[in-house]
Amino acid sequence: MRVAGAAKLVVAVAVFLLTFYVISQVFEIKMDASLGNLFARSALDTAARSTKPPRYKCGISKACPEKHFAFKMASGAANVVGPKICLEDNILMSGVKNNVGRGINVALVNGKTGGVLDTKYFDMWGGDVAPFIEFLKSIQDGTIVLMGTYDDGATKLNDEARRLIAELGSTSITSLGFRDNWVFCGGKGIKTKSPFEQHIKNNKDTNKYEGWPEVVEMEGCIPQKQD
């Protein structure tokens, strides 16, 4: 009897040890798989982060060099969506900010610091060009000037206003017509014509919207004014 009891005990212990061994092996395999999956996910996440394209100021396509201001701007879309002007990741004018309007929208920026000096819009359809001319005359040397049209920016423009804008570096202002879309970045005291200007004529055969051309967009890097 004692021998039989001892044999049963040995068998029971052996079964227990075998069961424990099998469970531990299965658990270890699952742990290894879980850790493997964890490391794999971590590696994929790291790779995804490393391949994600970088974002530059104002959403422009590449970083600006040192001592340059990044900017991006768009004209209005028909008479529905207002223009947008961004400088150094700061939205200066937009429909969301509720500081844009029909006509020519203007943002003035300090050429040394990049700080905003003023934002205004001038109705060139139903308004008076005289306040716009006085505004243009008051701009100080070294000021960066960004302009964008919304709806119609040309009907009330006269020769004097066009000349003052041309002195800021614009080439297209002389031919800006009714409901043309136009964006421009120049400066007071500039010695040459600005490279930052886009202009699309209002043409019923090519217009994207009924009565208006497509939106014009522009981005770039403005050299910081040096002492």
Q: Do 71 and 135 lie in a common domain?
A: yes
Clarify whether residues 88 and 35 are in a common domain.
no
Same structural domain, 7 and 75 = no
Same domain? For 135 and 78 the reply is: yes
**Separation of alpha carbons 211 and 79, rounded Å:** 10
Domain check: are 150 and 65 in the same one? yes
Burial class (CB in 10 A: 0-12, 13-18, 19+), 95: middle
The sheet carrying 90-93 orders its strands as 90-93, 84-87, 68-74, 217-223
Q: Are residues 43 and 153 in the same domain?
A: no
How much is the pLDDT for 50? 57
Q: Are residues 96 and 202 in the same domain?
A: yes
State how far the Cα of 135 lies from the Cα of 127, in Å rounded to an integer: 14
Phi and psi at 170, nearest 5°, equal -80, 140
- Dist. CA 73–CA 186, nearest whole Å: 13
CA separation, residue 73 to residues 21, 44, 160 (Å): 69, 36, 25
Q: What's this model's pTM, rounded to 2 decimal places?
A: 0.77
| Cβ atoms within 10 Å, residue 216 | 20
Does residue 106 sit in helix, strand or coil?
Answer: strand
In whole angstroms, what is the distance from residue 181 CA to residue 200 CA? 5
User: Are 76 and 186 found together in one domain?
Assistant: yes
Each residue's pLDDT tens digit, 50-104: 577 788 999 999 999 999 999 999 999 989 999 999 999 999 999 999 999 999 9
**26 lies in the same domain as 86:** no
Same domain, 43 and 96: no
Looking at the structure, tell me whether residues 41 and 79 fall in a common domain.
no
Q: Which tens digit of pLDDT belongs to each residue from 17-59?
A: 445 443 444 334 344 445 445 444 554 555 555 577 788 999 9
> Are 80 and 36 members of one domain?
no
Please name which of 104, 78, 102 lies closest in space to residue 172, comparing C-alpha atoms. Answer: 104
Counted domains in the chain: 2
151 lies in which domain range?
57-223
